[in-house]
Amino acid sequence: MQRVADGMWISVDCTQQKPFICEYLQVQQQTCTCPTALPCASTQPATQPSQNPCPNNDWVYSNNDDFSKCYYFNTSAINWNDSVVACQNLYSGATLVTIHSSAENDLITNVFRSKYPIPTASDSYYYWIWIGLRLIDPVNVVYQWVDNTALDYTNWDNTSPTGSTCVHFDPTLQDNGPYGQWVDAACDYTDQGFTSNLGFVCELQL
């Protein structure tokens, strides 16, 4: 045992009752075996409940290493220009979504697919969702985000771009590749009939 007075170690009879000190490893998952008369201390680190900094629960919060944003999903059948205005009116500083990585594109696709019914092969519709990308140079087919951030990532399907002015992404259609590919289209396209249900995604930078 160790003497309190000077910290020196001495040997004593093991049957004597003395105070004692325990230790445990600081890891995420740790099991310990303690005497039944003494409770085991928790080895789980204290965690704070996650906070949603978005305007309300209609928004989806993502705190990624590369982006921290709130997203708002809507399947109202309106054209691209009306979608821009809808986002601006929704909350100060909100815009149509700008996508800057495959991780962000996958996130938006997966969240949409979790929130809305997914058409099957027997259904007569699919979703086209407006994003904040539009054509600014028809001659050279140059596109730009509505917030003027860099076009540092694209996810065109194999038929696009064709030089149409506005862009939607396809979270439920796999005709030309994986879910979430981008297609350019006329900005006033609002077909709700046989082919598609239009919608849009807004974002709020944090």
CA–CA distance from 40 to each of 24, 53, 71, 100, 139 (Å)? Answer: 10, 36, 43, 47, 71
Backbone phi and psi for residue 197, each to the nearest 5 degrees, phi listed first: -115, 120
Largest CA distance in the chain: 93
Class for the domain spanning 59-205? alpha beta
> What integer pLDDT is reported at residue 59 of this predicted model?
96
**In degrees, to the nearest 5, what angle opens at C-alpha 75 toward C-alphas 152 and 132?**
20
Domain ranges for the chain, please list them: 59-205
> What integer pLDDT is reported at residue 21 of this predicted model?
61
The series of mean pLDDT values per 10 residues for the chain, 206 residues long, is 60 64 48 41 38 91 87 90 96 97 94 82 73 96 96 94 93 70 86 63 94
Q: Residue 120: which residues within 8 A CB-CB, separation 6 or more?
A: none
> What integer pLDDT is reported at residue 48 of this predicted model?
35
Q: Can you tell me the distance from the alpha carbon of 91 to that of 59, in angstroms, rounded to the nearest whole number? A: 11
132 with 97: CB under 8 angstroms?
Answer: yes
Round to the nearest angstrom and report the end-to-end CA distance of the chain: 56
Beta bridge partners of residue 33, listed in sequence order = none
> What integer pLDDT is reported at residue 132 of this predicted model?
98
